[in-house]
Structure 1
Amino acid sequence: MENQKTAVPMWFWAVAAFALLWNLMGVSSFLMQVSMTDESLRALPLAEQELYNSYPLWTYIAFAIAVFGGMIGSVGLLMKKKWAKPAFIISLLAIIPQMIQNLFFTNAREVYGPGTEVMPILIIVFGLFLVWFSTLAINKGWLK
């Protein structure tokens, strides 16, 4: 029974591919933020410069863990590996404090205006979804 293959539905692959693309966008955003030159930073409006400079180091560390954990989890889904779930859990555990910091302890809403909350909330919801989805995939026998 252990060697028996369980058919994986096509929509699983669509979700796994979307998860990878989503997390690659996160990795790209992280790399752009941490590699921003002083010249690029000075080209931003003063309010955005101050916002970028206000982020504590731990938020960058959490950002890295969140996006690289999500990317690794997504690769795990595509490889049909159970270790995708712990990678998504680690990612989510980094997402939550980072987004709480962004939503409640910065002036991002004043800098970017109404609607600033949408992306952080969407990121948290998708992180929760990926933990749930990987659990479902394990329970269905799609991940080994």
Structure 2
Amino acid sequence: MTTVAASRPASYWLIAVFALLWNLLGVAMFCMQFMATPEQIAAMPPETRQVREALPDWVQVAYAVAVFGGVLGGIGLLLRKRWAATFFLVSLVGLVAQCLGTFLLTPAWSAMGPSGLVLPIVLVAIAWFLLSYARRAAARGWLS
């Protein structure tokens, strides 16, 4: 008798581990930014400081939602739970809000120009992939 677990390809587990590690890296970056000391902030390039000082608090909240939602999504994939897709959706929404807030409400565009969009585009593409993958995994019966 074939089980659902046996029908999961090895790539499922690789993607699940990647999802968790990727989002844990995001949590580490969030913590570094959130806990930066005044000395560390003073050592930043002036453009980076200007962007940081102009960020509304809700953009930081969106950042937290993005990374912690992604961690929960990664855990959900590893536990083979349907709710993984929900948390990846929450993560994507938080990420898009963070990116829009950063580029629309701060001098990020003048500080970084078009090249500043590369990282946000890559981040959104990865978040979209993880959401899509979790939805496909649920549709294939890999998640309960």
1:74-114 per-position Cα deviation (integer Å, ceiling 9, x unaligned): 01101111110111111111111111122333322432455
Which runs of no fewer than 5 residues in structure 1 stay unpaired?
Answer: none
Structure 1 residue 26, shift from structure 2 partner: 0.7
CA distance in 2, matches of 1:103, 1:26: 19
Aligned match of 1:129: 129
Aligned match of 1:87: 87
Which aligned segments of 4 or more residues in structure 1 are displaced greater than 4 angstroms? Answer: none
Aligned match of 2:48: 48
Which runs of no fewer than 5 residues in structure 2 stay unpaired?
Answer: none
1:108-132 per-position Cα deviation (integer Å, ceiling 9, x unaligned): 2432455210111111111111111
What's the TM-score, normalizing by structure 2? 0.90
Paired residues of 1:66 and 1:90 also in contact (CA < 8 A): yes
Paired residues of 1:63 and 1:94 also in contact (CA < 8 A): yes
Cα RMSD over matched residues?
A: 1.4
Q: Identity of paired residues, percent?
A: 37
Higher helix share: 2
Q: Which amino acid aligns with 1:24?
A: L
Aligned match of 2:57: 57
What's the TM-score, normalizing by structure 1? 0.90
